[in-house]
Amino acid sequence: MLSKKTQYAFRALAHLAVNYGKEPVKISHISIKEKIPLKFLENILNELKKEDILESKKGKGGGYILKISPKKINLAKVIRIINGPIALVPCASLNFYEKCTDCDEETCGTRKMMIIARDATLKVLEKKTLHDLITER
């Protein structure tokens, strides 16, 4: 399951995707409209900025905007930034790989199955973008 934080991130990003190409949107505005705790949202947007999903502007008239087109930001990327691995076990993860203790990876059936499952999930999450999130609603 995705954390609430990740679900907040999707809501905030969908909001920003709708406003893509327009004026920056203030955190406080997103917080109210999307019902996300203000200070928590600050952290989320800041993390997304550090990973080059968002741009920000301080001072009056400031706020956040998407750095690139909603069509170019896929859901897997967002999940990895805010939530962590897509794979169901660490030893099957591409971006957060960790070696298992007590298991030989070359011959581990569980790992093989989890890699197949991960690839199926990824195929969807890497294809779908913020644009899909807003056009489908």
Partner DNA sequence: AAATATCCTACTAAATTAGTAGGAATTAAT
Partner DNA sequence: ATTAATTCCTACTAATTTAGTAGGATATTT
Q: Cβ distance 64 to 56 under 8 Å?
A: yes
Does 71 participate in binding a second copy (rule CB under 8 A)? no
Task: Kindly list the residues in this chain that would bind DNA in the complex (CB under 7 A).
Answer: 3-6, 8, 26-28, 37-40, 42-43, 45-46, 49-50, 56-64, 84
Does 68 participate in binding a second copy (rule CB under 8 A)? no
In this structure, are strands 54-57 and 63-66 parallel, antiparallel, or unpaired?
antiparallel
Residue with the two structure tokens 């690839």:
119
The count of other CB atoms within 10 Å of the CB of residue 120 is 9
Size of the site for a second copy (CB under 8 A): 37
Q: Cβ distance 87 to 8 under 8 Å?
A: no
The entry of DNA, a second copy, none that residue 37 binds, CB within 5 to 8 Å by partner kind? DNA
CB of 7 to DNA, least distance (A): 8
H or E element at residue 56: strand 54-57
Does 133 participate in binding a second copy (rule CB under 8 A)? yes
Residue 32 β-bridge partners: none
The entry of a second copy, DNA, none that residue 121 binds, CB within 5 to 8 Å by partner kind? a second copy
Closest to a second copy by CB, 50 vs 127, is 127
Does 7 participate in binding a second copy (rule CB under 8 A)? yes
